[in-house]
Structure 1
């Protein structure tokens, strides 16, 4: 049976000249994207075993905001900071009892999809990909651009508005 691996690229972050790369924070738009990703994943009824995140501030903040909607706490996984590979992702799914979510960076996330599926994608900031993993390969189940993630998050909300970012 295929295991589910979900990949979320961090939300929009401050410019590269704002502060050192490790410490770049989400913009207000990035916070909205992150809230939307959490809401969208919750609406899909996914019950994640674990949410792993890069320790870089923008990814960690994305994961924390996503986890609010999922009722989970993110687990910092240092290798997601850069150079994370498909075999590493597969190893994490093999240990999981349910779907696994990885919050990280480009080009790693798109490369994981390419290595496992043979297909090329460009995962935008706030974008989401879902894979069905069996052995060392996978099928792409879903690929959502940020605006599609936001639309999915809005389904069923009376006013269609996303929650305000936490202060």
Structure 2
């Protein structure tokens, strides 16, 4: 498909990825799903250097160990820094001879976060809304199409009872992409 058609039809990133990766046009909901995935995973921007480097190395044909090493070598204050900070905190607490509960209570009293546990920003009082977005998307995804492929009908009560929705969606997605 010529690039002029892509812009004329306002296919968006999801539509372009369907054409580039699978050589076919996707239904609108599939394009929206891909775009939603990109948006909810883009929260760290360029700070996720490890994941970025691992993917780039793998796509460049490097073996698994080389690709993982490429990502691990980028750990630092911006990416993977919580693990290093956690190790320093735990080592300091251990070396000072305090027990775990004392350490937790001390950090709580000082109003400091314990690195490496939970999330620096998200909490019960400040939940990660990406989870809700993904849950909403799951209810909007046309499962009845996947159910029809398996059962021959649009009824999906069996899949609700069996909790097989992820498998149905995976199958449906593969069918859309021409792999099933």
> Please, what TM-score do these two structures have when normalized by structure 2?
0.24
> Please, what TM-score do these two structures have when normalized by structure 1?
0.25
Higher helix proportion, which one? 2
Higher strand proportion, which one? 1
Structure ID, larger Rg: 2
